[in-house]
Structure 1
Amino acid sequence: MSTAQAGAPTRATDAGTATGAVATTPAGGMRAVGLDIGGTKTHGVVVGDDGTVLAQVRRSTEPGAEGVVATAARVFEDLGRATGSPLTCSVGVGVPGLVDVERGMLRHAVNLGVNGDDLPLRDLLAARLGVPVVVENDVNAAALAARALVAADDVVYLSVGTGLAAGLVIDGRLRRGEHGAAGEIGHLPIDPAGAACGCGQFGCLETVASGRALAKAWPTVDGPPAAALFAAAADGDPGAVAVRDRFCWGVACAVRALGLTIDPECIVLGGGVAEVGEPLRVEVVRQLRALGEGSAFLASLGLADRLSMVPQHYPVAAVGAALVAAG
């Protein structure tokens, strides 16, 4: 399934900017607000009753607990100005790290400068914003939006961003796991002699197939490393081709592992690196087919045919957060 085949039930009205510019679409029928809080940016959306994205805002994320809350409050206020009226609907928040959904607690969100003890993020945000708040892991939230994109009940969303992780929707329900670690595919070791991973293991998938790994293998000061790498590979640079192929092999290995353990109906690629678009899907499909050349069993699973991508510039994590809030 290609990106075009996936379809999108929502329509982004504007890409927004990192400095806080907003879209200004009429806000009738507001359903929920979604905030995707990342280590570098916080992306907020207002989603209507029909799934349409009515407004978007991006702002740089301030680190630390107070910085995260303050940034979220500014994005929320900007969204209210964009829609022309105060926002009174529920807010869903997607954040990296381990999330206790029942208690609204966040811990080990290193990229946000939140370490150690539980942070009562839900309660802090609810007090600051004055509306009900639900907190969820960002990749899990994105998986809900990915499920809506492909209209299936068994969906894996594979986020290829700074790190590598998956959100699992099984029989229409999120699978978080006993410790909230379900889908941490990036920390599956594939090479015991490989590079050290931030998790303390060696040779994890994330050391091969992540934005961090790609930037290390193909450093550039001219735009996003993934875009630069794929452009150089398309121009025939043999070094770029080698780096691209190893990276896409790693992503294909992640898809294979998810296919063999979850066997989902659809696997959807997203995350910052996926902004490369169709060239990434094509190369991952090629690697998947190569993995199946020596195994009739693996080839029979048709993993390449189950693979699609989030449409470029679609705010999947923020929309997913809004779906979390809407229930």
Structure 2
Amino acid sequence: MRLGIDIGGTKTDAVAVDGQGSVAQRVRLSTGFGQAEVVETAVTAVTRIGELTGLAAAGFDTIGIGIPGMVDRSSGRVAHAVNLGLDRVELGDLLAGRLGRGVRLENDVNAAALGAYHVLGLRGSMAYLNLGTGMAAGIVVNGSLWRGATGIAGEIGHLPVDPAGELCRCGQRGCLETMASGSAVARHWPTDDPLPVRALFAAAAAGDPEALAVSAVLAEGIASAVRVLVLTVDVDAVVIGGGLSHLGEPLLAQVREVLERWSRTSPFLASLQLPRRVRLVPEGTPVAALGAALVGEN
């Protein structure tokens, strides 16, 4: 039995995974803010899963944690996890001290990539395109994460595509993230709806011209990310996940429409069959927590 914990900015998802790779138990709880609260959140998740499985922390084969920010897998240090109030925190050591055993940490998008690859039963190569507050991708090749030389493989959200575009939080202009992310939608479509993307697509479906324009930019940004991933890594599949993926088929259909339009004017792109490579992560599947449970093998 392996335990995986996905620590998000507001919610934490934890699962126990059995020997066949199936989710045996699952709990969800609110995430605290700051070093002490994040540690307490993780410990509580282990405790609650332990109560459901009858296992103490030491009874799990592995405990893996997916968390935002830059994660040093060898030391367990987490940096730049601004939404959690963590920077240069030795989280691995802190949790080992509380749990009485070692844990393995991984970036949350990488963990979700592993989980999606497993859930979809994929082979070969896959890029998991996470569309949440920001944009990032995790790359899996033959069941193992491909992190690159310094661990930033997949950070395509900060790839500039418009030199005259908006200023990105990374300091560059016109990054993909400024076009296709939850934060981009919130800026371009102000609304009181707690889910701005849902409000955007509802207004677009009703024929609102501005909503149609904003949703078109969003779809083109996502399609651009798919194109980048295929042209640079030539993955067999690009799986869209994250908060924006909850829009489901309407979003996927719009992205595929953009890819098909580009293919009609470019024989080269047509030969890559981009629309066929893109798909959605299964709705309601805890891919990030599941992937965290699998990080011990990667």
Give the TM-score category using the shorter length. Answer: over 0.9
Deviations 1:284-304 (A, max 9, x none): 111111222221101110011
In structure 1, how many angstroms separate the alpha carbons of the residues matched to 2:53 and 2:270? Answer: 49
Q: Does 1:112 align with 2:84?
A: yes
User: C-alpha displacement at 1:120, in angstroms?
Assistant: 1.6
State yes or no: 1:301 paired with 2:279.
no
The equivalent position to 1:98 in structure 2, one of 70, 81, 95, is 70
Cα distance, 1:46 vs structure 2? 1.3
| Aligned position for 2:43 | 73
Which range moves more in the overlay, 76-85 or 98-107? 76-85
Flag the 1:131–1:188 CA change in 2: closer, same or farther, 3 A.
same
Percentage of pairs with the same residue = 52
Separation (CA, whole Å) in 2 of partners of 1:178 and 1:37: 25
1:244-263 alignment runs, 5 A limit: 244-263=215-234
Correspondent of 2:149 among 152, 158, 178: 178
Which one-letter code corresponds to 1:127 in the other structure? Answer: G
- 2:56 pairs with 1:86: yes
Runs of at least 5 residues in structure 2 that lack an aligned partner in the other structure: none
Q: Measure the CA separation in 2 of the matches of 1:318 and 1:233.
A: 33
1:36 aligns with 2:11: no
C-alpha distance in 2 between matches for 1:103 and 1:84: 30
Is the partner of 1:78 in helix, strand or coil? Answer: helix
**Structure 2 residue 131 is matched with structure 1 residue 160:** yes
Local SS of the residue matching 1:203? coil
By how many angstroms is 1:326 displaced? 5.5
Distance 2:176 2:51 in 1: 42
* Separation in 1, partners of 2:238, 2:225: 11
Match of 1:15 in 2: none
Residues 92-241 of structure 1 mapped to structure 2, 5 A cutoff? 92-115=64-87, 118-148=88-118, 149-241=120-212
Contact kept? 1:152, 1:266, Cα under 8 Å? no
SS in structure 2 of the partner of residue 292 of structure 1: helix
Distance 2:55 2:228 in 1: 47
Cα distance in structure 1, aligned partners of 2:2 and 2:191: 39
- 1:222-254 superposed Cα distances (whole Å, 9 cap, x missing partner): 331122222222232222221111101100000
Name the SS for the 1:94 alignment partner.
strand
User: How far is the alpha carbon of 1:85 from its aligned partner?
Assistant: 4.5
C-alpha root-mean-square deviation of aligned residues, in Å?
1.5
- Per-residue Cα deviation, 1:296-322 (whole angstroms, up to 9, x for no partner): 101110011011111111111111001
1:179: Cα distance to partner?
A: 2.0
The alpha-carbon deviation at position 86 of structure 1 amounts to 3.5
Task: Give yes or no for contact 1:35–1:321 (8 Å, CA) kept in 2.
Answer: yes
Separation of aligned partners in 1, 2:191 and 2:56: 43
- Counterpart of 1:291 in structure 2: which amino acid? W
Read off the aligned partner of 1:304 and give its amino acid letter. P
Distance 1:124 1:289 in 2: 49
Cα deviation, residue 84, structure 1: 4.6
In structure 1, C-alpha distance between the alignment counterparts of 2:297 and 2:235, rounded to whole Å: 25
Q: Is 218-227 or 238-247 further displaced after alignment? A: 218-227
What is the rounded CA distance, in whole Å, between the counterparts of 1:222 and 1:173 in structure 2?
A: 39
Amino acid at match of 1:302: Q
Classify 1:263/1:326 alpha carbon distance in 2 versus 1 (closer, same or farther; 3 Å).
Answer: closer
Out of 14, 20, 23, the position equivalent to 1:53 is 23
Bigger fraction of residues in helix: 2
Task: Show CA shifts across 1:24-46 (max 9, x none).
Answer: xxxxxxx2111111122211111
After TM superposition, the score normalised by the length of structure 2 is 0.94
Q: Which residue of 1 aligns with 2:263?
A: 292
Do 1:33 and 1:325's aligned partners in 2 also have CA atoms closer than 8 Å? no
Q: 1:131 to 1:153 in 2, by over 3 A?
A: farther
Separation in structure 2 between the aligned mates of residue 170 and residue 325 of structure 1, nearest angstrom = 16
Distance 1:316 1:41 in 2: 14
Task: Measure the CA separation in 2 of the matches of 1:190 and 1:140.
Answer: 24
The 1-side partners of 2:247 and 2:53 are apart by 31
